[in-house]
Chain A
Amino acid sequence: MSKQKVMMGNHALSYGAVVSKVNVISAYPITPQTQVVELLSELCSNGALDSEFIKVESEHSAMAACIGASAVGARTFTATSAQGLALMHEMLHWAVGARTPVVMGNINRSMGPPWTIWSEQTDSLSQRDTGWLQIYASSNQEVYDSVPIAFKIAEHKKVQLPVMVVLDAFFLSHTSENVMMMDLDKAETYLPKYKPKHKLDVNEPYTFGALTTPEWYYELRYKIQKAHENAISVIEEAQSEFKDMFGREYGLVEEYKTADADTILVAISTAASTAKDTVDELREKGVKAGLLRLRFVRPFPFKKVREVLSSAKKILVLDRNLSPGIGGIIFQEIKSAMYNESNKAPIYGFIAGLGGRDITTETIHNIFEEAEKQDPKNIIWMEVKA
């Protein structure tokens, strides 16, 4: 029987790396990620984790070292948040172009200034064009399980891309929940040792990171797009195998009471778990509400999203993020996914909870109510103080 432990999200992320038997960790501390580097350091120090941990001098170097280690063929892990993620930005592109299957935890934190440490998704969503696959978790169990799943996807020969496992600051990172732990041997059966096709091997030298003219660069980009497209079926296989072995089921998206829903709310992360309560309450009142949570934002699960939203009469999108000048990021993505579809239901974009302000069941009730009054052409801001 699996062991059950009560732990905060940051520890769930760390134990996810432990169960994945990572060879190299390279990370730099940042609030609210610090418990990740602390626990992993402790586990390395007392021998419970047989990994080499490079305590680098910046997040930029953290990702640079991860790329170097991954190129050697080591399974490589890091974690960061917000400002740290932004400092890594150049290397995030690099990890993708170099096709190094690094897995990174990112604790969603708002970007400064004004200086802040609380939750918001703009940090990781603004990295979506780097080419990293992105998983947004909504529970500590999901955080823990997502790490070995992420490695399995990242290292798959049809993908060979880095994966980010994203969790909300404080709502998950510092909140304790029950987590069912995996048996280490069973986890190794699920995630065998990493065997890269190309690696730094002195017996067969390669040049990595060469200068590439327009004659070649274009095709290499095409291959990255294809890898994202391939990732969809790889993810489905990886998660179905995970369910068979550990009994816990994950999809590209999570559907909650959407089958007969008239109004479907789309959200990511912990705001989506809060929204389940609101959906239940609305259902009790006879409102046919449903929830669609995107677990994967990259690759964007077009097919699933279109299927789930195909018969909705109203689509509401909740964004705890902001791309100034255009609005919520998930809102833009849902609109683009639905543009050529036959279902022309109106899509409403709501902004809430920026800078870690609570998104309560009441907030979500208000979102459903506002959708009755508002014009979908507007960006709808919830609970802005006068």
Chain B
Amino acid sequence: MPTIKELTRTGDLFTSGHRACAGCGGTIILRLLMANAGKNTVVGAATGCMEVVSTIYPYTSWDVNFVHNAFENSAATVSGIETAYRALKKKGKIKKDIKFIAYGGDGGTFDIGLQSLSGAVERGHNMLYLCYNNGAYMNTGIQRSSATPFGAHTTTSPAGSKIKGKMQQRKDLTEIMIAHDMKYVAQATPHNWSDLSNKINKALALNGPAFINVLSPCPLGWGSDPAQSIQIAKLAVETLYWPVYEYENGKYKINIKPKKPKDIEEFLFVQNRFKHLKNEKELIDKIRKHLNEKWNELLNKEKCTN
């Protein structure tokens, strides 16, 4: 695993000059991703914030090969790229070992791109799929996705006098990917760069599909202070909102176990998307109960597989 000093010296393969918002978690994640992946990498992107802010023709933030091929199919596109490299390598036309990365936001991964992701993983393509998960369709102006947490206000799950934001729990995509019998699946956040780096390196070292679901703070969509994005990501882990764990060769490992978890309200109320829940004790209890159940489930899975 490279040290942070080493990572700063790998050169900016995802360079500055992109047009992401201040405090955007996505660009922090991508920069770390590319610092670890290195030059001999092909990146395929789903339509979304990170694609739009980083490739405004004739400019690009990508100093590696980069392909955007619509919204629902970054995994399918990288399937084609990876296969073509394999075909040409067999014929001696390409000599280098190349890494393949597909990424998407939660909309492009949990919803519209789930089928192509599932297909690519089942076929066993050599690729890391990274989801920068900000929990809504932020690029189109904050609409709910199946990754949007219970109670969150979005423009299509608005907090009103009758309905208090999104009334469904978020989809557990990490578990869905584990159910594909993948060799490596992980959850991470950008607040712990070394954990995320470690996971990226593990995933890229595999000769097969790997999946990392990274929580990506979004000041615009979450209604949070841009200066606090990393702090909020940390709070998400400390309140059990976002367990940081990995599933490797059939074994679960929880990488960060808060000794004394903080109450979920500490995470919720640094974000305006939950502010309408302040006096909704029942709804907050529902969130707390769900998170505790999921956490205990995860502890059990870790216990059972080790």
Contacts and interface: CB of A to CB of B under 8 A. Distances in A.
Given A64-B80, A68-B77, A211-B55, A56 B69 contact: no
Interface in B110-164: 115-116, 118-119, 122-123
A286 to B, nearest CB: 58
A28 to B, nearest CB: 10
- Interface size of B as a range: 35 or more
Contacts of B57: 210-213, 216
A200 B123 contact: no
Interface string B50-92: 0110011110101111111110110011111101111110110
B52 A67 contact: no
Given A52-B83, A74-B88, A64 B119 contact: no
Contact of A211 (B52, B65, B96, B116): B52
Nearest to B73: A64
Interface stretch (B39-47, B181-189, B194-202, B221-229): B39-47
B30 interface: no
B65 A201 contact: yes
Interface in A85-129: 90-91, 94, 98
A207 interface: yes
A72 B84 contact: yes
A270 B135 CA distance: 53
- Interface size of A as a range: 35 or more
B88 A98 contact: no
B88 A23 contact: yes
B85 A210 contact: no
Contacts of A213: 56-57
B116 A64 contact: yes
Contact of A68 (B64, B69, B72): B69
Given A56-B79, A58-B115, A72-B85, A210 B70 contact: no
B28 interface: no
Contacts of A26: 79-80, 83
B254 interface: no
Interface string A212-249: 11001000000000000000000000000000000000
A52 B119 contact: no
B83 to A, nearest CB: 5
B80 A24 contact: yes
B73 A91 contact: yes
A254 to B, nearest CB: 35
Given A57-B118, A68-B44, A211-B57, A206 B83 contact: no
Given A61-B116, A207-B66, A72 B79 contact: no
Interface in A57-77: 57-58, 60-61, 64-74, 76
B118 A207 contact: no
B291 interface: no
A52 B87 contact: yes
A210 B65 contact: no
A58 B115 CA distance: 9
Given A60-B73, A68-B80, A69-B80, A200 B56 contact: no
B65 A65 contact: no
Nearest to B62: A207
Nearest to B53: A211
Contacts of A76: 80, 84
Contact of A216 (B44, B58, B116): B58
27 contacts: A23-B91, A24-B87, A26-B79, A56-B79, A57-B118, A58-B115, A60-B116, A61-B73, A64-B76, A65-B79, A65-B80, A67-B69, A68-B76, A71-B67, A71-B81, A71-B84, A91-B70, A94-B70, A200-B81, A202-B40, A202-B42, A202-B65, A207-B55, A207-B60, A208-B65, A209-B55, A210-B60
